[in-house]
């Protein structure tokens, strides 16, 4: 079903203007955290797998002027909105979007990118009651075997020495590490805690192509203080475009 209405919102303290569907899947904190974890430098070429309306690569381009980026998005309506978002943010002139299925990397994109970022569907199809909103259901629900295919596409797209940044559910860490171990080395894990002392619900993983395999846990990012407000570190990332260092 076509997207009937949208809203115009802001990320990074409204530095990023973002149009998105009024109903269904909407950009959340995870998107901004993912972008903050990408160690990009000016002139790097970045690939956003499953880019949606472009929130992550727009946040990255806002933080790191001079990058170039490509977003791949299966949903043609979201890809069209992403194109409009690129046009309404002056710092995004070197970004573009292509409508494509990320589980099969389009030809011509192998070994091209310094960084790949992705925020794939979190919920396995067989264990999840999908949303009645079709776009949200696609964004949130992983078909069996898709996560391994997303990671394979990322590996194929990266230059040797390039990094994959992936945000996902903390309870699937071992499964994801198993997929990464087939092709990636030097894996670093950042746990995202809702509050201090509460187990993480999300993790960000950084994996580098072409290095010997190793796993290390980085520091944890605590999102909220006891009073419910963002911690200073989270505030700096979510509002003031500070990078997250996972090393």
Distance CA(210)–CA(68), nearest Å, equals 23
User: What does pTM read for this prediction?
Assistant: 0.90
Distance CA(128)–CA(130), nearest Å, equals 6
Residues 105/81, Cβ–Cβ less than 8 Å = no
Q: What is the Cβ-side half-sphere exposure of residue 243, based on CA atoms within 13 angstroms?
A: 13
Distance CA(173)–CA(47), nearest Å, equals 22
DSSP state of 230: B
Q: Residue 7: pLDDT band by 50, 70, 90 thresholds? A: very high
**Secondary structure class of 171 (helix, strand, coil):** helix
- Three-state SS across 38-99? CCCCCCCEEEEECCCCCHHHHHHHHHCCCCEEEEEECCHHHHHHHHHHHHHCHHHCCEEEEE
* pLDDT tens digits, 33-82: 999 999 999 999 999 999 999 999 999 999 999 999 999 999 999 999 99
pLDDT at 136: 46
CA 180, distance to chain mean position in Å, is 16
* pLDDT tens digits, 188-243: 999 999 999 999 999 999 999 999 989 999 889 999 999 999 999 999 999 999 99
CATH class of 6-240: alpha beta
Every domain of the chain and the residues it spans: 6-240
């Amino acid at each position: 079903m076509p997207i009937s209405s949208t809203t115009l919102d802001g990320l990074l303290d409204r530095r990023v203007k973002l149009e998105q569907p009024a109903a269904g899947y909407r950009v959340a904190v995870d998107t901004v955290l993912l972008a903050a974890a990408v160690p990009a430098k000016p002139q790097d070429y970045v690939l956003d797998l499953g880019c949606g309306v472009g929130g992550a690569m727009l946040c990255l381009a806002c933080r790191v002027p001079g990058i170039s980026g490509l977003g791949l998005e299966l949903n043609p309506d979201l890809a069209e909105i992403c194109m409009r978002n690129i046009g309404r943010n002056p710092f995004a002139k070197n970004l573009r979007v292509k409508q494509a299925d990320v589980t099969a990397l389009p030809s011509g994109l192998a070994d091209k990118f310094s960084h790949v970022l992705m925020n794939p569907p979190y919920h396995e199809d067989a264990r999840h009651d999908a949303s009645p909103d079709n776009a949200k259901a696609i964004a949130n629900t992983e078909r069996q075997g898709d996560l391994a295919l997303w990671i394979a596409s990322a590996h194929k797209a990266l230059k040797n020495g390039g990094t994959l940044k992936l945000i996902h559910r903390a309870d699937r860490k071992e499964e994801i590490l198993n997929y990464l171990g087939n092709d990636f080395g030097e894996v670093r894990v950042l746990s995202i805690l809702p509050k201090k002392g509460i187990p993480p619900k999300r993790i960000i993983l950084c994996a580098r192509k072409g290095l010997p395999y190793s796993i290390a846990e980085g520091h944890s990012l605590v999102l909220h203080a006891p009073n419910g407000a963002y911690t200073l570190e989270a505030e700096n990332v979510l509002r003031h475009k500070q990078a997250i260092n996972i090393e």
